[in-house]
Amino acid sequence: KHIIIMIPNTWDKISTQQFMQFNALNKVKGKDAKDTMNILIQKAAILSGLDMYEAEKIPISELSNIKKLAEQGIKSKIYKSFQLNGIWYEVILNPNDLTSERYAGVMEASKVDPIQGIAKTLFYLCKPFKKGLFGRKYYEHKEGDIPKIIEGFNDLPITISYPIAVFFLTLLKEYTDYSLTYSKEKMTQMKEEILKAQADLLKDTDGLKQ
């Protein structure tokens, strides 16, 4: 049976979890032609949401969409706020604004593999809030809900999660390196340069509109 093309042709249709699974398979090399084809079918299953049995029925011509997608870069727009599963979040992009708990969470999530830890990294970088007449009212998730909330970040489009995680982790590394080796005056200068660069990058990137 012919399967209608179901492989997305843009990254904004790919979730964070799909990307993590796809990225892991990209590191696997096939031993032979059959093995290589099997890996390609696994990628098709991940990107399309089909099971392996259904993915095996996708024509070779349609599997070429996987290569086209992989060759596209993920757009670098950085959202300052977004809505996920009915909850609004504000993104913390300045290391100085992190609490010690959030800082420790980000470092722990990115310790082994930054890509595999995107969902957890985003959880600690994003403050939930409710919209009200007098602006945003921030709050914290209940401790018992946290595992489920973190899991929910896997549903976030990779075009939102990836630029935020990469930008912040790069910024944090530079910030940490300087803090270990530079004087107080140099730290102040470096901080101003980072914040200016950050402001330039974030210009006109307000986030998803209602």
Task: Compute CA distances 182 → 63, 173, 174, 185, 195, whole Å.
Answer: 51, 14, 11, 8, 17
Question: For 66-80, 120-134, 195-209, which range has the lowest pLDDT when averaged over its residues?
Answer: 195-209
Alpha carbon distance 5, 40 (integer Å): 15
pLDDT at 117: 83
Task: Output phi, psi for 15, to 5 deg.
Answer: -80, 165
User: Could you read off the pLDDT of 91-142 as tens digits, one per residue?
Assistant: 998 888 888 899 888 888 877 666 678 899 999 999 999 998 889 999 999 9
What's the whole-model pTM score?
Answer: 0.76
Nearest one of 14, 20, 13 to 115, comparing CA atoms:
20
Binned at pLDDT 50, 70 and 90, residue 189 comes out as: low
CA 145 to chain centroid: 21
Q: Bigger pLDDT: 183 or 39? A: 39
Alpha carbon distance 117, 13 (integer Å): 20
Give all strands of the β-sheet with 87-91 in edge-to-edge order: 81-84, 87-91, 126-132, 135-138
Alpha carbon distance 160, 74 (integer Å): 9
37-46, 50-59, 91-100, 101-110: range with highest mean pLDDT: 37-46
Alpha carbon distance 12, 69 (integer Å): 11
